[in-house]
Amino acid sequence: MLNLIIFGPPGAGKGTQSEKIIERYQLAHISTGDLLRAERNAGTELGNKANEFISKGELVPDEVVIGMVRNFMVSKSGVQGFIFDGFPRTIPQAEALDAMLMEFDTAISTVLGLEVVEDELVKRLMLRGQTSGRVDDQDEDTIRNRFREYQNKTLPLKDYYANQKKYQSVQGIGEIDEIFTNLCACIDAV
Ligand code: ADP
Task: Compute, in angstroms, the gap from residue 187 CA to the centroid of ligand 1.
Answer: 24
* DSSP per-residue letters across 117-163: -HHHHHHHHHHHHHHH--GGGS-HHHHHHHHHHIIIIITHHHHHHHH
- Quick one: pLDDT band at residue 156, thresholds 50, 70, 90? very high
Instruction: Map out the domains of the chain with their CATH numbers.
Output: 2-181 (3.40.50.300)
Please tell me the number of Cα atoms within 13 Å of 85 on its side-chain side.
24
Angle (CA) 58 165 150, round 5° = 10
Query: How do residues 120-134 score in pLDDT, each as one tens digit?
Result: 999 999 999 999 888
User: What count of other Cβ atoms lies within 10 Å of the Cβ of residue 109?
Assistant: 15
d(CA 71, CA 156): 26
Say what the pLDDT of residue 90 is.
98
Query: How do residues 40-89 score in pLDDT, each as one tens digit?
Result: 999 999 999 999 999 999 999 999 999 999 999 999 988 999 999 999 99
Query: How do residues 2-42 score in pLDDT, each as one tens digit?
Result: 999 999 999 999 999 999 999 999 999 999 999 999 999 99
Q: Is residue 135's pLDDT more than 90? A: no
Catalytic positions are 14, 89, 128, 134, 146
65 in contact with ligand 1, CB cutoff 6 A = yes
Angle (CA) 48 54 58, round 5° = 130
